[in-house]
Amino acid sequence: MRRLLVPSTLIAVAGLSLLAFTPVQTADETPLWGFTQAGSRAQRELEARLDAQLQPDSLRVWLKYLSRHPNQLGSPGDSANAEWIAAHYRAWGFQTRIDTYQVLFPTPRERLLELVAPTRRRMNLAEPVLKEDATSAIVKGRLPPYNAYSADGDVEAEVVYVNYGVPQDYEELARRGIDVRGKIVLARYGGSWRGIKPKVAAEKGAIGCLIYSDPRDDGYYNGDVYPKGAWRREDGFQRGSVEDMPQYPGDPLTPGVGATRDAKRMDRKDSPVIMKIPVLPISYQDAEPILAAMSGPMAPPSWRGALPLPYHLGPGPAKVHLKLAFNWDLVPAHDVVAMLPGSRYPDQWVLRGNHMDGWVFGAGDPLSGQVALLEEARAVGILARSGWRPQRTIVYTSWDGEEPGLLGSTEFAEDHAAELERKAVAYINSDSNGRGFLGVGGSHQLERFVTQIAGDVKDPETGATALARLRARLEVAGNDGAARGDLEISPLGSGSDYTPFLQHLGIPSLNIGYGGEGGGGSYHSVFDSFDYYRRFGDPTFEYGVALAKTGGRATLRLADADVLPFRYSSLANRIHTYLGQVEKLAGDMRTSTQRLDHLVDIKAYALADDPTETWVVPQKKDSVPYLNFAPLENSVARLRKAATAYDAALAGKMAAGGPSEQEARNLNGLLQGLEERLLSPDGLPRRPWFRHMIYAPGFWTGYGVKTLPGVREGVEQREWDNVSKYVTEISDALDRLSSGLEQATGMLDS
CB 287 within 8 A of CB 232: no
424-430/345-355 β-pairing: parallel
Among positions 546-605, residues that touch a second copy (CB under 8 A) are: 595, 599, 602-605
The least CB distance from residue 282 to a second copy, in Å, is 17
Residue among 1, 16, 20, 607 that touches a second copy (CB under 8 A): 607
Q: How far apart are the first and last CA of the chain?
A: 64
Q: DSSP state, 564?
A: -
Q: Which CB, 298 or 655, lies closer to a second copy?
A: 298
Residue among 120, 608, 626, 681 that touches a second copy (CB under 8 A): 608
Q: What is the SS3 assignment for 101?
A: strand
Instruction: Write each residue from 36 to 75 as x if it is in contact with a second copy (CB under 8 A), else as -, in one continuous string.
Output: ----------------------------------------
Closest CA to 375 of 658, 116, 89: 89
Q: Which CB, 22 or 612, lies closer to a second copy?
A: 612
Residue among 38, 606, 648, 655 that touches a second copy (CB under 8 A): 606
Rounded CA gap, 182 and 348, in Å?
55
Phi-psi region of 562 (alpha: psi -120 to 50; beta: other; left: phi over 0): alpha
CB 162 within 8 A of CB 144: no
Q: Which CB, 87 or 604, lies closer to a second copy?
A: 604
Give yes or no for residue 308 binding a second copy (CB under 8 A).
Answer: yes
Q: DSSP state, 317?
A: B
Instruction: Write each residue from 229 to 248 as x if it is in contact with a second copy (CB under 8 A), else as -, in one continuous string.
Output: x-x-----------------
Rounded CA gap, 337 and 399, in Å?
8
Give yes or no for residue 310 binding a second copy (CB under 8 A).
Answer: yes
Give yes or no for residue 318 binding a second copy (CB under 8 A).
Answer: no
Rounded CA gap, 437 and 485, in Å?
18
Q: Which CB, 294 or 420, lies closer to a second copy?
A: 294
Residue among 223, 346, 587, 631 that touches a second copy (CB under 8 A): 223
Q: Which CB, 181 or 598, lies closer to a second copy?
A: 598
The least CB distance from residue 34 to a second copy, in Å, is 29
Detail the DSSP E strand segments found in 216-318. 240-241, 279-282
Residue among 29, 110, 132, 224 that touches a second copy (CB under 8 A): 224
Give yes or no for residue 620 binding a second copy (CB under 8 A).
Answer: no
Give yes or no for residue 419 binding a second copy (CB under 8 A).
Answer: no
CB 394 within 8 A of CB 89: no
Q: State which amino acid sits at residue 455.
A: G
Residue among 8, 9, 612, 750 that touches a second copy (CB under 8 A): 612
Residue among 304, 323, 590, 718 that touches a second copy (CB under 8 A): 304
The least CB distance from residue 737 to a second copy, in Å, is 37
Name the one range near a second copy by CB under 8 A: 66-74, 119-127, 261-269, 300-308: 300-308
| Angstrom distances, CA of residue 386 to CA of 14, 15, 93, 126, 391 | 10, 7, 11, 51, 15
Q: State which amino acid sits at residue 401.
A: G
Give yes or no for residue 215 binding a second copy (CB under 8 A).
Answer: yes
CB 577 within 8 A of CB 75: no
Give yes or no for residue 298 binding a second copy (CB under 8 A).
Answer: yes
Among positions 435-474, residues that touch a second copy (CB under 8 A) are: 435-436, 461-462, 464, 468-469, 472-473
Runs of H (alpha helix) within 163-246: 167-175, 196-203, 215-218
Give yes or no for residue 222 binding a second copy (CB under 8 A).
Answer: yes
Phi, psi (degrees; rounded to nearest 5) at 220: -60, -25
Q: Which CB, 220 or 568, lies closer to a second copy?
A: 220
> H or E segment at 91?
helix 76-91
Q: Which CB, 182 or 310, lies closer to a second copy?
A: 310
Q: DSSP state, 347?
A: E
The least CB distance from residue 302 to a second copy, in Å, is 12
Name the one range near a second copy by CB under 8 A: 18-26, 120-128, 172-180, 301-309: 301-309
- CA 393 to chain CA centroid, Å, is 25
Residue among 129, 137, 309, 648 that touches a second copy (CB under 8 A): 309
Detail the DSSP E strand segments found in 190-318. 208-212, 240-241, 279-282
Closest CA to 711 of 579, 590, 574, 584: 579
Residues touching a second copy, count (CB under 8 A): 41
Q: Which CB, 397 or 465, lies closer to a second copy?
A: 465
Rounded CA gap, 614 and 581, in Å?
36
Q: List all residues 6 or more positions away from 450 whose beta carbon is below 8 Å from its beta carbon.
A: 440, 442, 486, 487, 489, 510, 554
The least CB distance from residue 147 to a second copy, in Å, is 26
Give yes or no for residue 306 binding a second copy (CB under 8 A).
Answer: yes
The least CB distance from residue 100 to a second copy, in Å, is 43
The least CB distance from residue 544 to a second copy, in Å, is 17
Give yes or no for residue 611 binding a second copy (CB under 8 A).
Answer: yes
Rounded CA gap, 318 and 324, in Å?
19
Phi, psi (degrees; rounded to nearest 5) at 580: -60, -40
Give yes or no for residue 221 binding a second copy (CB under 8 A).
Answer: yes
Residues that bind a second copy (CB under 8 A): 215, 220-225, 229, 231, 298, 304, 306-310, 435-436, 461-462, 464, 468-469, 472-473, 475-476, 478, 517, 595, 599, 602-608, 610-612
